[in-house]
Structure 1
């Protein structure tokens, strides 16, 4: 996701990382480890995966704060979904049609309609031999 998630939607564990190590570190850790566990060593050298991901100085600080802990890094799906749904509603208000939103966000039309809170248009099922212009 390219849009940063609003802080008020983030789980407490991610906020704790942001508070102690900064939001940039939190975003990197979340994007790489989200949905899994991370054992944080007491120290990490320049070749350690955390140093590669965060940069040496941020990795050292991260290890100073969380060293020895195993962190559960949430996927934060509900936060990502809330941001996505807000983007969908905004695009709809700006005139985007349901089909273009389906393609843009990889959702079904029913999901887009549900997110936008708009009633679905009635489905018209015509028999193969019905003529829509005729009245019985």
Structure 2
């Protein structure tokens, strides 16, 4: 399961159903979110990327509140301003989404502020490209990778050509 498909699934789930959910159902949704995160990103590879690719805000949240909290915020609020209350309440929507302990840490860090959660598009694109290059090395068809990642075959071809060009430059540099 790709990061793109997990993000799409979670976005559809949260946008389509949050207005009609009760707390029990929301708790189940949060549990499903964490399960999907573990399936798609067992070691949270976003934070394995070079630090210059990860937005500073995400690094800050991950270092203080944990990588899981940063990833949940990224998946649910990409590119959106979020108001963080000064006094955390267990009934707050973020407390239900993140878990109360993580929400308290977030309130300690950003209490009484409105923060923008970055999209982290560069980092997510780098992860996608790594996965495509790995698939290319394993001989997976470009059409299969295009469908899996929600991009065109031409884009997959461009990504794979970066490796081919690097190999050609190495041959000529001898």
Hey, which of these two has a bigger chunk of helix by percent?
Answer: 2
- Shorter-chain TM-score bucket reads 0.7 to 0.9
Corresponding residue SS for 1:70: strand
| Residues paired across the two proteins, number | 119
The 1-side partners of 2:153 and 2:65 are apart by: 41
What is the CA distance between 1:102 and its match in structure 2? 2.0
- TM-score for the superposition, normalised by structure 1: 0.80
What is the CA distance between 1:87 and its match in structure 2? 0.4
State the partner residue of 2:62: 18
What is the CA distance between 1:89 and its match in structure 2? 0.7
Structure 2: gaps (5+ residues): 4-39, 166-174
Structure 1: gaps (5+ residues): 120-136
Please list, as runs of the form range in 1=range in 2, the aligned pairs for 1:122-133 lying within 5 A after superposition.
Answer: none
Please list, as runs of the form range in 1=range in 2, the aligned pairs for 1:2-41 lying within 5 A after superposition.
Answer: 2-3=40-41, 4=44, 5=46, 6-7=48-49, 8=51, 9-41=53-85
What is the CA distance between 1:15 and its match in structure 2? 0.4
Please list, as runs of the form range in 1=range in 2, the aligned pairs for 1:1-136 lying within 5 A after superposition.
Answer: 1=3, 2-3=40-41, 4=44, 5=46, 6-7=48-49, 8=51, 9-117=53-161, 118=164
- TM-score for the superposition, normalised by structure 2: 0.63
The 2-side partners of 1:54 and 1:106 are apart by: 28
Quote the RMSD (CA, aligned, Å). 1.6
**Residues 55-98 of structure 1, C-alpha deviations (whole Å, 9 max, x = no match):** 11221121122101111111111111110011001101101122
